Every structure is written in structure tokens, then in C-alpha cells.
Amino acid sequence: MHMHVPFCAMTDTTVTRTPAADHPPATDQTRWSPRLWGALVVLCAAMFLDALDVSMVGVALPSIGADLHLSDSALQWVVSGYVLGYGGLLLLGGRAADLLGRRRVFLVALAVFAAASLLGGLVDSGPLLIGARFLKGVSAAFTAPAGLSIITTTFPEGPARNRALSIYTTCSAAGFSLGLVISGLLTSAGWRLTFLMPVPVALIALVAGVRLLPRRHDGHRASGGYDLAGAVTGTAAVLLLVFTVTEAQGAGWLSVRTIGSLLLVAALAAAFLAIEARTAHPLVRLGIFRDAGVRRANLTALTLMGSYAGFQFVATLYLQRLLGWSALETALGLLPGGAVVAFSAGAVGRLLDRYGPARVLPVGVASMALGYALFLRLDEHSGFLGLVLPSMLLIGAGFALAFPSINVAATSGVADDEQGLASGLVNTALQVGGAIVLAVTTAVLTAGSAGGTDAHAQLAGYRTALLLVTGTTALGLLVALTGAVRAGRRGPAADPAPVPDYVYPAAPAAARPAETSASEALLSER
């Protein structure tokens, strides 16, 4: 299936939209060049590695703890260090891509990721391993928004971008699902392989990226100065928030330490908003939130990733602790969800073309909520066919529909020089939502089990936590439905519009037999 990428010419003026008849409909198709596919593969490889890294390390934690003699609290920071670096610096990473050049930021961060992976596989102490994980999180905080913004500024809004973002999201889900399986196999030979395995993949992607990624993403940068005060307060607020919710379970949610940290987060956030409202060149232009689609996408992202992280945590504990599944059996049991995502990229792209993200997103969120609710039937004797498989199929289908819709909605209508910002915002919402809801889910699970260790107490804790997960997803569904209602009032989705800063030619497609796609033209600008 080949999606059409309309021709466009670069311009320094504002967007000029031609009548629908002046550009080919979404059903017209042209082939993407090998070079265009290569650029997309490089970007997808980085996202695949980010997701792979998160899931692989989780499975390897017991082996890491035994080999390096780490306590449970220290072992937690092998995971939390990555989350802290990733979630805390996404806003800065997104805006850096706009200001310093998306291609440059992406390639440098990918090189740092490879170096940090190598370091993690060679160290022999807990602090160094945690430092390597933090560095990997920092690198991901720059590759994720830079990569997403390269896609959204290379592929025009409409079928081309929908298809590209569907493939991009598929690689993330595939990385996470395969990481669980791969880690289960590699850990048996040594946990260090889970760190070393991504290194050659990252280096291959880096070399290919130097050759294939369009150089225009270095030369075309956002204008304006650097918002140092906003960068410091905004980054500090997000870092402290992620740190606080990660540590809250151990310190106590009502402890002086936790409450004091949350008050400091509020103060930093207030200072950040005040600075952004007054500065001439803000890190985050607050006016971007006037776009209802951007607001809905970020709010839905926060709730959806949070509930997904919470479900993965609960399901893994239930399958391994109560049903006695091994780590590899658990990974294989959850794999059908990732398989659904992997095989649905083309279909999801077509659905987004036809109905738009505002209509597709609620369907995806509802499917995920139904999958979580179905898992509430868990008991001591549940099996793969009766419980896990149907739940994972629903969750996978929902993931496949929802997350590409979120990425499309979060970046649609945003000017080129703020695509990095928009990408950083939605990625921040995903990571912060995951950290917050996962922390709350952990607390609810502990409270629900009332400290008991027997099967009845464990089941009570799992069900209580799953109710929280399902309820959080229901909140996301309410947010998503407001977009569907608004879209219904506006009528059918409009024909694809050009990316800001580009113009469609006035001549119809039929008059251009040798038409070149916009994306391929941009890739040729070197």
C-alpha cells in the first residue's frame, strides 16, 4: 500500500492553501523512494531501541541485583534513572531540536545512546550502572522529539504523515514487546548482553542517519534566542516531579519529604509559567495550548500511557507471582498485544486518512479500557486463552488506534519551527503520565492487598489496581470523546492540508506526470 505525498515547494511566506481540486485526493498514491524509506527506518530504529531498552532491563533486574549485589532500592534506580533522564528533559530536548537543528540533535543523541549502552554493559558497580541508565534516558529525551519532528516536517499532513506515524508507533510497540522476549533469552547467558545488544544496532542507525536524514533539518531552525530561565525552571519542575512520584512509595505519600517536594514542584511550575508568559522567546510558547486538538492529545496521552504502564506492572506481577509463569512465559503471553500493533500499521493509516484522529482516537481508548476491564476477571486459575489472550488483543488493537492518533493530533496544524516543541510536549505527557499513574498504581496495589501475601490478598490488590487503571483510561476516553463530538459537528474531514511553510502548486496532479513527492524533494536538499 502506497500513500500519496503531494508535491510542495518551500517558501518563506505563510501557508497558502489551494482549493481541494488543486491537489490530488488522499486516494491517489505514489511510491516512496528507497531513500525516503531509509530515512523513516532510521527514525523508527531509534524509537525501537528506546522501547526495547525499557522492557529488556526490566526482565534483567533480578540478575543485575544478584551480580552487582544491589539492594531493592538501588535496583529500582536502574529503572528510575532512565525514567528520570527521559521524562525530565523531553521539553528541553524538543525545543533544542527546533533551535539547534533536528538532524544534528538526533544524531548526537543517538551516538550518546550507543556510548551509554556500551558503558552499561561494561561497568561493575551499581552507581556507574545507574549513571549509564540516566545518560541513556537523557539521550532518549533528545532522540524522541527530534525524530518525531523530523517525520512531521518531512511528511505533509494527511495520508503521508498518517502512514509514517503509524509505522513509527508500530516500531515503538514492537520494541517493547520484543524486548521482553529478547531479554528473557539474553539474560540466561548474562544480563550484560541486554545492554550490549543495542550498541551495534544504534551504530548502524547512526551511520545510516548521517547518509539518509535530510540536511535541511540542520539548516532550517526556529528563530529567536534561548530561554535559559524557562529551561532551568521547566526542566527542574519535571525532573523533581518524576523523582518525587518514583520515590513516594518508599518515602510515603503523606510524608514531609513527598509533600514538600510536590510543593516545590508547584512553585517551580508556577515560576516556569510566569517566565514563559513574559519572555520574548519562550521554551514553551503557551499559545500552543489554545489549539484544542493539541490539548486533547496531550491530556489523552498522559492518561493512556499512565494506564498502560500500570497495567503492564500489575499483569506482570500477577502472571509471575500468582500463576508462577517465568519471565519468558510472561513476555510471550503479553506478546499478542504487540503483534496486533505490528501488523496494523497500514490499516490504521488508512483509518486516519478517512476519519481523522479525532474520530479514531476514542475507538482506540475504548478498546484499551475494555481490555483492562476484561482482565478484572483474573483469579487463581485463569489461563492464557481465557484471560490473557482476549485482553491483550483488545489492548493491542486499542494501542494501535490510539497512539498514532495522539501523535497526529499533537502535531497537526503546528508550524514547522515548533514541531520539536509539540513533539517534546506529547512525549513529556506520555512519560510523566506513565511515572505518575505507575506510582499511584503501586500504592493502590499495596493498599488493596492490605499487606497480605496469600492468593486472596494478592488478588484483591491486583483487582483494586486494575480498577484504577481502567478508571484512568475512562478519563482519557471522556477527553477523547470531546474531540469526536466536535469533529462530528464540523462534518467530514477536510482534504489534506500542507505542512506550514510549504505551498501546493496551483496546477492539478494530472498536469504533472513526472511529479516528485514533497518528502523526496526535501530529502534531496543536501
Beta bridge partners of 16: 503
Contact 181, 335 (CB under 8 A): yes
Q: CA-CA distance, 368 to 124, in Å (whole number)? A: 41
**Of the candidates 194, 95, 74, 195, the residue with the CA atom closest to the CA atom of residue 141:** 95
Q: Would you list the DSSP string of 205-236?
A: HHHHHHHHS-THHHHS---S---HHHHHHHHH
Q: What is the pLDDT at residue 117?
A: 94
For the chain, the distance separating the N- and C-terminal CA atoms, rounded to the nearest angstrom, is 28
**Of the candidates 44, 123, 168, 142, the residue with the CA atom closest to the CA atom of residue 85:** 142
Fold of 34-215: Growth Hormone; Chain: A; (1.20.1250)
Largest CA distance in the chain: 74
Fold of 289-486: Growth Hormone; Chain: A; (1.20.1250)
pLDDT band for 476, please (50, 70, 90 cuts).
Answer: very high
pLDDT band for 494, please (50, 70, 90 cuts).
Answer: very low
pLDDT band for 271, please (50, 70, 90 cuts).
Answer: very high
Cα–Cα separations (whole angstroms), residue 126 to 2, 29, 197, 432: 49, 53, 20, 25
Q: What is the pLDDT at residue 499?
A: 35
Share above pLDDT 90 across residues of the chain, in percent, rounded to a whole number: 29
Q: What is the pLDDT at residue 72?
A: 63
Measured over the CA atoms of residue 89, residue 92, residue 95 and residue 97, the dihedral's sign is negative
Helix-, strand-, coil-residue percentages of the chain, each rounded to 5? 75, 0, 20
**pLDDT average, residue stretch 111-124:** 94
Q: 500-517, pLDDT tens digit by residue?
A: 333 322 333 433 334 444
Contact 2, 29 (CB under 8 A): yes
**Of the candidates 394, 361, 402, the residue with the CA atom closest to the CA atom of residue 375:** 394
pLDDT band for 478, please (50, 70, 90 cuts).
Answer: very high
**pLDDT average, residue stretch 1-6:** 37
Domain 34-215 and domain 289-486 have a common topology? yes
Residue 385: partners with Cβ closer than 8 Å, 6 or more residues away: none
Say if residue 22's pLDDT is above 50: no
Long-range contacts at 426-430 (CB < 8 A, ≥ 24 apart): 426/148, 426/297, 426/298, 426/301, 427/90, 427/94, 427/141, 427/144, 427/145, 427/148, 428/87, 428/90, 428/91, 428/94, 428/238, 429/298, 429/299, 429/301, 429/302, 429/305, 430/301, 430/302, 430/305
Cα 159 off chain centre by: 21
Of the listed ranges 366-380, 452-466, 476-490, the least confidently predicted one is 476-490
Task: Name the grid cell of 423.
Answer: 513533539
Domain segments of the chain: what residues? 34-215, 228-282, 289-486
pTM: 0.75
**Of the candidates 522, 162, 216, the residue with the CA atom closest to the CA atom of residue 345:** 162
Rg of the chain over all Cα atoms, to the nearest angstrom: 23
pLDDT band for 216, please (50, 70, 90 cuts).
Answer: low
pLDDT band for 387, please (50, 70, 90 cuts).
Answer: very high
Q: CA-CA distance, 365 to 357, in Å (whole number)? A: 12
Q: CA-CA distance, 54 to 468, in Å (whole number)? A: 23
**Of the candidates 160, 136, 125, 128, the residue with the CA atom closest to the CA atom of residue 7:** 160
Q: What is the pLDDT at residue 26?
A: 31
Q: What is the pLDDT at residue 486?
A: 66
Of the listed ranges 329-343, 367-381, 396-410, the least confidently predicted one is 329-343
